[in-house]
Amino acid sequence: MQTLVDVKEVYSTEGLSLWYDKKQALKDVNVSIFEKQVTAIIGPSGCGKSTFLKTLNRMVELEPKITIKGRISYRGNNLYDKHYPVEQLRHRVGMVFQKANPFPKSIYNNIAFGPRLRGIKNKQLLNEIVERSLKQAALWDEVRDKLNQDANRLSGGQQQRLCLARCLAVDPDVILMDEPTSALDPIATAKVEELVHQLKQQYSIIIVTHNMEQAKRVSDQTAFFLNGELIEQRKTSELFAKPFHKETADYISGRFG
Ligand SMILES: Nc1ncnc2c1ncn2[C@@H]1O[C@H](COP(=O)(O)OP(=O)(O)OP(=O)(O)O)[C@@H](O)[C@H]1O
């Protein structure tokens, strides 16, 4: 008998289009992002991967002269409704960038920053959150004796895991990752990939990557973008084994991009 798996949708987009002034960066994109899965966003440079990611936490609105059409549902609610509580969204949806960006503060204060912003003042509770988040990001053992050290003195790979821990400290629902390992060496990359694998037990993760081997290793679903269009989104193993579209086949076989 077939085992039925209950997969919930975290995000879905319908006819999502986006313009930077007159330049159209996303064209009629229909995507589903599933709970507790890793979704990889792949495609050549300039195809709209980062733009798509930044629509999911409404960060794209920080850019001037943006026009957005279509709909993005997050947990069933219209994200671009003018009454949507954006502040709440920023706690629910964390983001890790290509270049690690720790605050110019101590390791401890980087992690405690978000919880403090949410009103947590109790020292004991903050200590617990800092320890839990650093453990979840597999950084605790390396930094437990130097929590007061400036975070910028950590290595690049450690800084990236610190940024992940900073996301986790506010107990997010979704983690967006924009090429999180492109500035890291293979060992630091492997650590982040291992983390992604563990964290999907609890969180839904969307990762933009130029590295197709990484997409194959870490993701359950892959969405392939080209010139602002979503060409196809499928189970990663299926997309790489038997792409539906010639454009996908050409891209994953390294014929362009
Ligand atoms: N702030 C902006 N203003 C104007 N055009 C922009 C802006 N940001 C991105 N674009 C354009 O929108 C398109 C999509 O850019 P985006 O950064 O989303 O692509 P990408 O697939 O993430 O690229 P890469 O892999 O190089 O990071 C590109 O043509 C880019 O030049």
User: 162-194: per-residue pLDDT in tens?
Assistant: 999 999 999 999 999 999 999 888 998 999 999
pLDDT digits (tens, 9 = 90+) for 27-52: 999 999 999 999 999 999 999 999 99
Distance (angstroms) between ligand 1 centre and the Cα of 172 equals 26
Rounded Cα–Cα distance for residues 17 and 145 (Å): 48
Find out whether the beta carbon of 18 lies less than 6 Å from any atom of ligand 1.
Answer: no
Burial category of 88 from C-beta neighbours within 10 Å (exposed 0-12, middle 13-18, buried 19 and up):
exposed
What per-residue confidence (pLDDT) applies to 117? Answer: 92
What are the residues facing 11 on neighbouring strands? 33, 74
Q: Is the CB of 25 under 6 A from ligand 1?
A: yes
> Domain map of the chain by residue range?
9-252
**Minimum CA distance residue for ligand 1 atom 29:** 46
Q: What is the architecture of the domain spanning 9-252?
A: 3-Layer(aba) Sandwich (3.40)
Using DSSP's 3-state secondary structure scheme, residue 28 falls into: strand
Rounded CA-CA distance 98/222 in Å is 19
Give first-to-last CA distance, the chain, whole Å: 43
- Residues 139, 39: Cα–Cα separation, whole Å: 24
Give dist(CA 20, CA 255) in Å, integer.
29
Per-residue pLDDT, 4: 64
ipTM of this predicted structure: 0.98
Q: What is the pTM of this model?
A: 0.93
Mean pLDDT of 213-220: 96
